[in-house]
C-alpha cells in the first residue's frame, strides 16, 4: 500500500512538471521573507585539519563563485585554525573529518559526502556563520581527473560553498530529467571521479547573481520584478501551481512564499516557468508552510524585493484556504549525497527512498540551526 502510494505521488509530481515549459530552478535559501546572504558580499573563511594537498582545490571552490559575471562577491582566507568549528561561533570553517563522523553534534548521515550548516538572522536574512564538514572517514578524496575512484575535492567543495553563500539544491530528484538542473553544481548528488561541477553552471550563475548582484554592471543588472495579481492554476497534494502576473520576470527571478515570520519556514519555488516578462507559472510545495497571512515575493536580485499580499484580496481566497493549516516545517542549508550508479538505481524502492529520506533528514537538521 505504501509503495503504491509513493509511486503514484511521484507520477503526479512528474505530470505537474511536464506541464511547465522553460523551467528555471536555481533555489535560494530564504527566512521570514529575507533571502539568506552575506552582508556586502564579503565572506571570510578558515581551515581546520584540511590536508595540505587539498587546500588549493578548496580555495578554488570559493574563487569560482566570485568569478561569475555580474556578481559582487569577495572571499578572504583567514588561515588555518587550531579550533574545531562550533555552531554560531562567528567563524566560517571548512573542516576535514577523518573520524567520529557519526558522533558529530548534528548526526550527519554516513553516506553524506559533505554537509554545510549555517546560522541565520531571520529578521534580516544575514548569514551569521557557516561551516563545511568533509566526510573523510567514509570516503576517499582526491583529484577526480587523475583518479576516477576518488571523490573530487574541488567538485564537492564548490557545491558546499554554494550552500555557504545561500544557495539551496537545484534539484533533489534522482530522476531529474532536465539536464540543466541535473548538471548544475548545486544538484544534490555526485559520484566518484566527477569533476564537471567544479565550475558553476548556467543555473548556478543565475542563483548567485540573484543573491549578490553587481548593480553597476549594466550587462547583467535587471529592473525590479513586480507582482500585480496571482491566480490558482491547480493544486494536487502538497503541490500548488500559481499563475503570476506582473512585470520584469526573467530567468533570474526568484519567487518565495512567506509569512514574514521566523515561526514559519519560507517556501522557495524550485520550479517556475517564465511565460513572458509579464507572466510566470510558479510551483510551490505547500507542505512546509502554514499561515493565514501569506505573501508571495518576487525579485531579480536581493536588493529589490516585491511583496504581494495573498490575503488582502478576496480573489486569492482559494489560495489562502489551501495554505491554512498546511503544517510541516521546511529546511535549508544542506549537503551533498553520494549519487547511486546506474546499476544501483535499478535496485529496490526501499533503498532509493531511504537515500531520499537521508537527504531530507540532513536538510531538516541544518534548518534547526537558524537564528530565530
pLDDT in tens, the chain (372 residues): 322 222 222 232 223 333 334 455 699 999 889 999 999 999 999 999 999 999 999 999 999 999 999 999 999 999 999 999 988 899 999 999 999 999 998 888 888 999 999 988 877 888 999 999 999 999 999 999 999 999 999 999 999 999 999 999 998 888 888 888 999 999 999 999 999 999 999 999 999 999 999 999 999 999 999 999 999 999 998 999 999 999 999 999 999 999 998 778 899 998 899 999 999 999 999 887 888 899 999 999 999 999 999 998 888 888 999 888 654 433 445 655 443 222 222 223 333 334 444 444 444 444 322 221
The answer to pTM > 0.85 is: no
Q: Which residue do the cell numbers 537515500 mark?
A: 355
Residue 318 CB-half CA count within 13 A: 10
3-class DSSP state for residue 162?
Answer: helix
Domains of the chain: 2-27+219-323 (2.60.40.10), 30-215+335-367 (3.40.390.10)
Distance in angstroms (rounded) separating the CA atoms of residues 346 and 174: 11
Q: Which residue do the cell numbers 512538471 mark?
A: 17
E strand or H helix that includes residue 264: none
Strands 295-301 and 254-258: antiparallel
3-class DSSP state for residue 343?
Answer: helix
Distance in angstroms (rounded) separating the CA atoms of residues 143 and 90: 31
Distance in angstroms (rounded) separating the CA atoms of residues 163 and 62: 11
Residue 241: the pLDDT is 95
Q: Residue 216 CB: number of other CB atoms within 10 A? A: 9
Tell me the backbone φ, ψ of residue 51, rounded to 5 degrees.
Answer: -60, 145
Distance in angstroms (rounded) separating the CA atoms of residues 251 and 68: 16
Q: Identify the DSSP state of 138.
A: T
Let me know: does 32 contact 123? Beta carbons within 8 Å. Answer: yes
Let me know: does 206 contact 251? Beta carbons within 8 Å. Answer: yes
Residue 357: the pLDDT is 41
Distance in angstroms (rounded) separating the CA atoms of residues 167 and 18: 24
Residue 24: the pLDDT is 56
E strand or H helix that includes residue 334: strand 334-338
Q: Which residue do the cell numbers 520584469 mark?
A: 248
Let me know: does 113 contact 190? Beta carbons within 8 Å. Answer: yes
Residue 356: the pLDDT is 41
E strand or H helix that includes residue 228: strand 226-236
| End-to-end Cα separation, the chain, in angstroms | 39
User: What grid cell was written down for 70?
Assistant: 555580474
Residue 77: the pLDDT is 98
Tell me the backbone φ, ψ of residue 141, rounded to 5 degrees.
Answer: -115, 160
3-class DSSP state for residue 8?
Answer: helix
Amino acid at each position: 500500500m505504501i509503495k503504491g502510494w509513493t509511486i503514484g505521488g511521484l507520477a503526479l509530481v512528474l505530470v505537474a512538471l511536464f506541464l511547465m515549459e522553460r523551467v528555471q530552478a536555481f533555489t535560494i535559501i530564504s527566512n521570514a521573507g529575507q533571502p539568506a546572504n552575506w552582508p556586502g558580499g564579503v565572506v571570510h573563511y578558515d581551515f581546520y585539519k584540511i590536508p595540505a594537498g587539498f587546500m588549493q582545490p578548496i580555495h578554488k571552490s570559493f574563487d569560482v563563485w566570485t568569478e561569475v559575471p555580474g556578481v559582487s562577491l569577495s572571499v578572504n582566507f583567514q588561515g588555518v585554525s587550531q579550533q574545531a568549528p562550533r555552531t554560531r561561533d562567528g567563524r566560517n570553517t571548512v573542516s576535514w573529518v577523518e573520524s567520529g563522523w557519526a558522533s558529530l553534534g548534528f548526526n550527519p548521515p554516513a553516506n553524506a559526502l559533505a554537509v554545510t550548516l549555517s546560522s541565520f538572522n531571520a529578521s534580516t536574512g544575514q548569514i551569521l556563520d557557516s561551516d563545511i564538514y568533509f566526510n573523510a572517514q567514509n570516503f576517499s578524496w582526491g583529484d577526480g581527473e587523475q583518479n576516477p575512484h576518488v571523490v573530487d575535492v574541488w567538485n564537492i567543495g564548490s557545491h558546499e560553498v554554494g550552500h555557504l553563500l545561500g544557495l539551496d539544491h537545484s534539484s533533489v530528484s534522482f530522476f531529474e530529467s532536465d539536464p540543466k538542473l541535473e548538471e548544475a553544481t548545486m544538484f544534490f548528488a555526485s559520484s566518484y571521479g566527477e569533476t564537471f561541477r567544479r565550475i558553476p553552471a548556467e543555473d548556478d550563475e543565475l542563483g548567485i547573481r540573484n543573491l549578490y548582484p553587481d548593480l553597476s554592471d549594466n550587462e547583467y543588472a535587471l529592473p525590479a520584478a513586480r507582482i500585480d495579481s496571482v491566480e490558482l492554476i491547480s493544486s494536487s497534494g502538497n503541490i500548488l501551481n500559481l499563475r503570476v502576473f506582473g512585470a520584469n520576470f526573467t530567468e533570474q527571478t526568484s519567487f518565495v512564499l512567506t509569512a514574514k515570520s521566523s515561526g514559519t519556514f519560507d517556501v522557495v519555488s524550485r520550479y517556475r516557468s517564465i511565460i513572458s516578462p509579464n507572466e510566470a507559472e510558479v510551483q510551490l510545495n505547500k507542505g512546509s508552510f502554514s499561515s493565514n497571512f501569506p505573501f508571495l515575493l518576487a525579485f531579480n536580485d536581493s536588493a529589490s524585493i516585491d511583496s504581494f499580499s495573498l490575503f488582502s484580496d478576496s480573489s486569492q481566497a482559494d489560495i489562502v484556504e489551501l495554505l491554512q493549516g498546511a503544517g510541516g516545517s521546511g529546511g535549508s542549508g544542506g549537503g551533498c549525497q553520494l549519487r547511486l550508479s546506474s546499476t544501483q538505481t535499478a535496485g529496490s524502492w526501499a533503498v532509493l527512498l531511504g537515500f531520499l529520506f537521508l537527504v531530507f533528514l540532513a536538510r531538516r537538521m541544518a534548518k534547526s540551526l537558524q537564528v530565530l
